[in-house]
């Protein structure tokens, strides 16, 4: 039973938006590509998981905090007597694993996923304990790309390669766990602790004036468009939606990129590329947000 769907992280969404609105510096571009690759790998993992028809509870992509430390879990599976914690790695090509470190073919050392998962296990154990649950955690690092090769002298029981994943998931689904209210309660409590607005402090620096304005297509990220009285069409891929929904999406994107900025009709009018009237934008802002009136200006915030 899927208790929490996977969503793109704040970093992923910000880099995505910036990538189509400015020239991202090379370093940020690489970060964006890594986000895309990681997300694609996690989605691939989700497909395998859903095909295996688990009777246990599944929570995808949790951002949790333990004593001011934020940690992220790719997938969590709650059974009757244990919790499985999956860290999905979408590494391509070949890597070497020796002396408990990971190296690329060209000899570069990469962040050790074993250390990363060890940290997540410790934090998750403590979070669950604080919620009143003392369950064993089984961590697994899933290498999802079938082309991935790991050269290693020693096998590691935490590694799960893409060809081993179906068997592992089938073994779990064969156990046909009967989930009790206690497990459901744990799942819901963990879901409630998920911080979907977590903003890491290594986000790129950008300013409103430097970004290309206009409504981005949610499919192909183009800003070229055609429209009728009520409908917005992407001129590049043909995606179609109401103008209201296109403006609403753009407002959400503005809030994501500029959470500290005052949201005024004029700002959103500019952000949407000055193609729809301020009156039309005001109506949408009034409907979805809380309106603040001051002598100098009117601005809007979350309801």
Stretch that binds Zn ion, among 31-39, 52-60, 85-93, 231-239 (CB under 5 A): 231-239
H/E stretch holding 145: none
Query: Which residue spans within 79-136 are E strands per DSSP?
Result: 83-89, 94-98, 101-104, 109-110
> Any contact of residue 20 with Zn ion (CB under 5 A)?
no
> Any contact of residue 219 with Zn ion (CB under 5 A)?
yes
For 262, the token pair is 């005052």
Residues 6+ apart with CB under 8 A from 134: 128
Q: Which of 193, 236, 256, 283 binds Zn ion (CB under 5 A)?
A: 236
| Cβ atoms of residues 80 and 178 within 8 Å | yes
> Any contact of residue 131 with Zn ion (CB under 5 A)?
no
For the CB of residue 243, give the shortest distance to Zn ion in the complex, in Å: 15
> Any contact of residue 168 with Zn ion (CB under 5 A)?
no
| Cβ atoms of residues 57 and 184 within 8 Å | yes
Q: Taking the mean position of all CA atoms in its chain, how far away is CA 168?
A: 25
Question: How far is residue 93's CA from residue 110's CA, in Å, rounded to a whole number?
Answer: 14
> Any contact of residue 227 with Zn ion (CB under 5 A)?
no
> Any contact of residue 284 with Zn ion (CB under 5 A)?
no
> Any contact of residue 217 with Zn ion (CB under 5 A)?
yes
> Any contact of residue 239 with Zn ion (CB under 5 A)?
yes
93: left (phi over 0), alpha (psi -120 to 50) or beta: left
Q: Which of 18, 77, 117, 234 binds Zn ion (CB under 5 A)?
A: 234
> Any contact of residue 231 with Zn ion (CB under 5 A)?
no
For the CB of residue 224, give the shortest distance to Zn ion in the complex, in Å: 8
For the CB of residue 19, give the shortest distance to Zn ion in the complex, in Å: 15
Q: Interface with Zn ion by CB under 5 A: which residues? A: 217, 219-220, 222, 234, 236-237, 239
């Amino acid at each position: 039973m899927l208790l929490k769907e996977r969503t793109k992280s704040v970093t992923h969404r910000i880099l995505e938006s910036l990538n189509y609105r400015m020239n991202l510096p090379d370093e940020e571009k690489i970060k964006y590509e890594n986000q895309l690759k990681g997300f694609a790998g996690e989605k691939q993992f989700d497909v395998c998981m859903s095909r295996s028809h688990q009777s246990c509870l599944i929570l995808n992509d949790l951002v949790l905090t333990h004593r001011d430390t934020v940690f992220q879990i790719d997938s969590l599976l709650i059974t009757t007597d244990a919790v499985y914690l999956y860290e999905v790695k979408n590494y391509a090509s070949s890597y070497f694993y020796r002396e408990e470190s990971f190296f690329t073919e060209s000899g570069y050392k990469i962040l050790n996923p074993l250390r990363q998962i060890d940290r997540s296990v410790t934090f998750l154990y403590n979070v669950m304990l604080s919620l009143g649950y003392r369950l064993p955690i089984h961590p697994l690092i899933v290498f999802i790309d079938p082309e991935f090769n790991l050269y290693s002298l020693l096998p590691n029981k935490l590694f799960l390669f893409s060809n081993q994943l179906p068997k592992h998931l089938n073994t779990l689904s064969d156990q046909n766990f009967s989930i009790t209210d206690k497990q459901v309660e744990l799942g819901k409590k963990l879901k409630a602790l998920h911080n979907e607005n977590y903003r890491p402090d290594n986000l790129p620096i950008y300013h409103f004036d430097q970004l290309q304005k206009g409504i981005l297509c949610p499919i192909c990220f183009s800003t070229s468009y055609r429209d009728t009285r009520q409908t917005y069409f992407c001129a590049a891929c043909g995606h179609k939606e109401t103008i209201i929904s296109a403006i609403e999406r753009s407002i959400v994107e503005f809030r994501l990129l500029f959470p500290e900025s005052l949201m005024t009709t004029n700002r959103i009018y500019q952000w949407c590329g000055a193609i729809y009237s301020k009156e039309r934008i005001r109506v949408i802002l009034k409907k979805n947000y809380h309106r603040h009136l001051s002598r100098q200006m009117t601005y809007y915030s979350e309801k």
